[in-house]
Chains A and B, each alone.
Chain A
Amino acid sequence: MSKSVIEMPPKGGFSFDLCKRNEMLAKKGVSPPSFRKTGTTIVGLIFQDGVILGADTRATEGPIVCDKNCEKIHYMAPNIYCCGAGTAADTEAVTDMVSSQLQLHRYHTGRESRVVTALTLLKRHLFNYQGYVSAALVLGGVDVTGPHLHTIYPHGSTDTLPFATMGSGSLAAMAVFESKYKEGLTRDEGIKLVTEAICSGIFNDLGSGSNVDICVITKGAKEYLRNHLQPNPRTYTSSKGYSFPKKTEVLLTKITPLKEKVEIIEGGDAMEE
């Protein structure tokens, strides 16, 4: 029996071969390396002047909390912010990438970025990777056409909603929104409702915890309230403080100013081929 392998030139696009290999290994019992996820509760709502986004601050690596105060509200444009749930690396990378693309687009067009632009860039990217880029996002912002709030799922589908929640704590937060949301909330009412929804996720979902971050976006202004509420302070801290006796000993200090190593010539000839 002869095996003939025809070498096909790559047609371009993402090659899913390694994904198939990973599935085969998983079936054989080889567990994939654990990675950092943001267990997360992220929410967004539209109030009378714009959009309020909220997020918890716990990042988990399997059962361990690896970051007690991470930032899940990512900057996209001066008037657009995006909360991210799912694999932390994926949400960071995808929001950074689209944020850069939006900046280039702003230079090209000379205009403020629109939320639908960010939405389309994100959904195209996520659809092309067929859900393997595990980023679930709540995108909110205010542009010339008004306030917008969208949710984007890892497979590339989007929804446009007046209030939205994502992440493992989304059910807890959605319960709060469904009972208390109404149209035309004021800024303070909106912040209070978002804080309640995130707290509901923090206290009832194991994947979410620590503090509440809020971002308020209105026409022409934004306010990033980092750690707006800290309902989980460290209970027992040592009043004596901590002392670390063993330090690295300094044996020798030698400073060489670089001017002594480099010769600086004033003027000189122009470079020629």
Chain B
Amino acid sequence: MDLNMNVDAPHSMGTTIIGVTYNGGVVLGADSRTSTGMYVANRASDKITQLTDNVYVCRSGSAADSQIVSDYVRYFLHQHTIQLGQPATVKVAANLIRLLSYSNKNMLQTGLIVGGWDKYEGGKIYGVPLGGTLVEQPFTIGGSGSSYLYGFFDQAWKEGMTKDEAEQLVVKAVSLAIARDGASGGVVRTVIINSEGVTRNFYPGDKLPLWHEELEPQNSLLDILNAPSPEPMNI
């Protein structure tokens, strides 16, 4: 372990972020770990940030860069909504994110997933990875933990899921990524956006399913030590 860790190093959100459309809206999901090198600076961060009443963005990469980009886009969208006279569409929000990410591609290091619901197109998910591409997709994943989910989604994703199916898929996926990715952890946060509005959900770490070789959460390691040792094998 590096004892000379620089606690003032730039923060990156190791992260697992997911955006999924379902029949009627979108579900955004994220873990909650913000790390500085090997130290977890915030174990309960909220990576799903509001841009407007009906559009949210999942942030990954550099914490500072993603916060500043989402602050600017929130401000532009607010002005845009006033000028337009009606709620902004998800496409406009995603394009504003893309314009900032692409024009400043040399200085920014942030991958974002924009998701929301508007009356023209319904629920939409847009991915804006490093470099500033804009891709509209039925589902998308991002962050360091996403590497472990590509195969899972190829198999588990299907068109026209219900709201609960979609949310359970997202929670399962984030918890799988948390199990395998060191830079993701903490709790799972989800945001469901549809015509009725926005619902925020929170799944604490001990409520998530356990995967291969994961241990039950313990109050104290001493409980494990004091457990009776297994019987010696009889040949």
Chain A residues within 8 Å of B, Cβ to Cβ: 85-86, 120, 123, 127, 131, 134, 136, 151, 153-159, 161, 166-168, 170-171
- Shortest C-beta distance, A22 to chain B (Å), equals 17
CA A85 to CA B39, docked complex, whole Å: 17
CB-contact partner of B67 in A136, A158, A166, A167, under 8 A? A158
CB-contact partner of A167 in B7, B11, B63, under 8 A? B7
Identify the closest chain A residue to B13 (Cβ): A157
Q: Does B160 contact A (CB under 8 A)?
A: no
CA A98 to CA B42, docked complex, whole Å: 25
CA A187 to CA B29, docked complex, whole Å: 37
What chain A residues lie within 8 Å of B39 (beta carbons)?
171
Whether the Cβ atoms of B42 and A166 lie closer than 8 Å is no
What chain B residues lie within 8 Å of A156 (beta carbons)?
64, 67-68
Contact A127 B11, CB 8 Å, known A153-B63, A157-B63, A159-B34? no
Q: Does B10 contact A (CB under 8 A)?
A: yes
Nearest 6 Cβ contacts at the A-B interface: A157-B63, A157-B64, A156-B64, A155-B64, A155-B10, A159-B42
Contact A154 B8, CB 8 Å, known A159-B34, A171-B39? yes
CB-contact partner of A159 in B7, B10, B41, B71, under 8 A? B41
Q: Does B144 contact A (CB under 8 A)?
A: no
Chain B 34-52 per-residue mask, 1 if CB under 8 angstroms from chain A, else 0: 1010010110110000000
- Shortest C-beta distance, B32 to chain A (Å), equals 11
Q: Does B62 contact A (CB under 8 A)?
A: yes
Identify the closest chain A residue to B34 (Cβ): A159
CA A123 to CA B34, docked complex, whole Å: 17
CA A134 to CA B10, docked complex, whole Å: 11
Chain B 107-151 per-residue mask, 1 if CB under 8 angstroms from chain A, else 0: 000000000000000000000000000000000000000000000
CA A147 to CA B67, docked complex, whole Å: 22
CA A157 to CA B64, docked complex, whole Å: 4
Residue of A153, A166, A167, A168 most packed against chain B (CB within 10 A)? A153
CA A156 to CA B211, docked complex, whole Å: 36
Residue of B36, B41, B44 most packed against chain A (CB within 10 A)? B41
What chain A residues lie within 8 Å of B7 (beta carbons)?
136, 166-168, 170-171
Identify the closest chain B residue to A40 (Cβ): B7
Known contacts A131-B64, A157-B64; can you find 13 more A-B pairs with CB under 8 A? A86-B8, A123-B64, A127-B68, A134-B8, A153-B41, A153-B63, A154-B10, A159-B41, A159-B45, A161-B42, A167-B7, A170-B7, A171-B39
What chain A residues lie within 8 Å of B71 (beta carbons)?
120
Chain B 7-36 per-residue mask, 1 if CB under 8 angstroms from chain A, else 0: 110110000000000000000000000101
What chain B residues lie within 8 Å of A131 (beta carbons)?
10, 64
Whether the Cβ atoms of B8 and A123 lie closer than 8 Å is no
CA A123 to CA B64, docked complex, whole Å: 9
CA A161 to CA B44, docked complex, whole Å: 8
What chain B residues lie within 8 Å of A136 (beta carbons)?
7-8
CA A167 to CA B8, docked complex, whole Å: 8
What chain B residues lie within 8 Å of A120 (beta carbons)?
71
Identify the closest chain A residue to B39 (Cβ): A171
- Shortest C-beta distance, A73 to chain B (Å), equals 19
CA A104 to CA B36, docked complex, whole Å: 35
Whether the Cβ atoms of A155 and B62 lie closer than 8 Å is yes
Identify the closest chain A residue to B66 (Cβ): A157
- Shortest C-beta distance, A128 to chain B (Å), equals 9
Task: List residues 69-92 of chain B with CB under 8 A from any CB of chain A.
Answer: 71
CA A85 to CA B8, docked complex, whole Å: 9
Identify the closest chain A residue to B7 (Cβ): A170
What chain B residues lie within 8 Å of A153 (beta carbons)?
8, 10-11, 36, 41, 63-64
Residue of B7, B36, B45, B63 most packed against chain A (CB within 10 A)? B7
CA A182 to CA B62, docked complex, whole Å: 30
Identify the closest chain A residue to B42 (Cβ): A159
What chain B residues lie within 8 Å of A127 (beta carbons)?
64, 68
What chain A residues lie within 8 Å of B8 (beta carbons)?
85-86, 134, 136, 153-154
15 A-B pairs (CB sep. < 8 Å): A85-B8, A86-B8, A123-B68, A151-B41, A154-B8, A155-B11, A155-B62, A155-B64, A156-B68, A157-B64, A157-B67, A161-B42, A166-B7, A168-B7, A171-B39
What chain B residues lie within 8 Å of A86 (beta carbons)?
8
Whether the Cβ atoms of B67 and A123 lie closer than 8 Å is yes
- Shortest C-beta distance, B34 to chain A (Å), equals 7
Whether the Cβ atoms of B11 and A157 lie closer than 8 Å is yes
- Shortest C-beta distance, A16 to chain B (Å), equals 11
What chain A residues lie within 8 Å of B11 (beta carbons)?
153, 155, 157
CA A159 to CA B46, docked complex, whole Å: 9
Residue of A154, A156, A168 most packed against chain B (CB within 10 A)? A156
